Amino acid sequence: MKALIIILGVALGLGLGLFPKFDRPKPKWWKILVFLIMSGSICLSLLPPIAENPLVARYMSTKIPGHVSNILLYVKPGTLHYHHVLQFWNCEFYFPGKEANPEKLIINSRDLPPEFKSDKRLILKLNYDFQNKQFVYLSTAYVSPILVFPFVPGLEQQIRILNFHVPVAWICVLAFLISMIYSIRYLRSKDFEFDLIASSTAGLGLLFCVLATVTGMVWAKANWGSFWNWDPRETSIFILLLIYAAYFSLRSAIENPETKARLSAVYSVLAFITVPFLVFILPRILSGLHPGSENDSTTGPILSAKEGALSIIQQISFSLGFATFTAIFFWMLNIYIRQRKLQQKIEGEF
């Protein structure tokens, strides 16, 4: 199911991106649609609050003493039981699709917060007291949240960057693939239009490679404590950046247009051979910090077959991220190719 949702997102992006053609102006409805999908994707990635269930909250308390947990709670006023100074009651924690487990919850205020008096879903900030086996209420974070992301231990709020970082890295591979295809087409036909498309996609691929590195660095700082850790995947993307930076220095070093196009086409084909090795193989056969590394027992939330690794909302927002970034890449490519073609036409007249 997860794979299908992600594939649908990629297919939507490719379908939108390749319509009507690389170098034909996009219709107005297309631009508005892409703009709206991207705005929706940003909202869906960043806005839903993240909530745990009580089992995760208790587990996190063993790891981090005093850990404040956001717990999704379904308040049923009929089940409240009061005591006079420390108000507490046995309430039912809401487990989507599972049996509810009664737990004790302590509220340190004399007055019961008003949101507890109605039949609503709440996200509470709680502390789990291990000695007394009870949750201590700190504050109400959200009342009646529409959508909730599940808490992923170890990733928590940082999971949101997944919807930007992974699609951007995918675009980088896609761009280098297109560049290689058009380089081969140039070598076969000697048509300079193919060289223009190949070099434009390589340029945008390099830009998206930088974006993937930057978003990855931000995530690494939040999760691993420093921006750069020389993890195999970080090292491989750095090598990839150098390889494609060399492509442009090669192009700028040659003046003869035919030699430039021929040599850079050959270089682009050779450079792409390293891409599957650097992106898919090397980070998996070496020990590293990324999920899926040789020393990692888990495959990470995306590839994991474990139920609940990514909720359906997260899967949809992740898939939407793929669709929007793919469409935006093709929009940028369209503008870039048209601008370069027009420039060549005008220069050819003088």
Q: Which residue's CB is nearer to another protein, number 74 or number 331?
A: 331
Residue with tokens 């299908």: 4
Q: Of the two residues 227 and 238, which places its CB atom closer to another protein in the complex?
A: 227
Nearer to another protein, 14 or 38 (CB): 38
> Considering the complex, what minimum distance in angstroms separates the CB of residue 339 from another protein?
6
Nearest to 212 by CA among 180, 182, 174: 174
Minimum separation from the CB atom of position 206 to another protein (A): 18
Helix (H) or strand (E) holding 169: helix 162-189
Measure the CA–CA gap between 29 and 52, rounded to whole angstroms: 40
Burial class (CB in 10 A: 0-12, 13-18, 19+), 82: exposed
Q: How far is the CB of 201 from another protein (least distance, A)?
A: 17
Q: Which is nearer to another protein, 20 or 25 (CB)?
A: 25
Q: Which is nearer to another protein, 67 or 121 (CB)?
A: 67
Contact 303, 292 (CB under 8 A): yes
Q: How far is the CB of 179 from another protein (least distance, A)?
A: 21
Chain contacts with another protein (rule: CB under 8 A): 25-26, 31, 35, 38-39, 42-43, 46-47, 67-68, 125, 156-157, 222, 331-332, 335, 338-339, 342, 345-346
Least distance (Å) between residue 186 CB and another protein: 24
Are 313 and 255 a contacting pair, CB within 8 Å?
no
- Which amino acid does the sequence have at 118? S
What Å distances lie between residue 140 and 75, 124, 156, 160, 191, CA to CA? 12, 4, 18, 22, 64
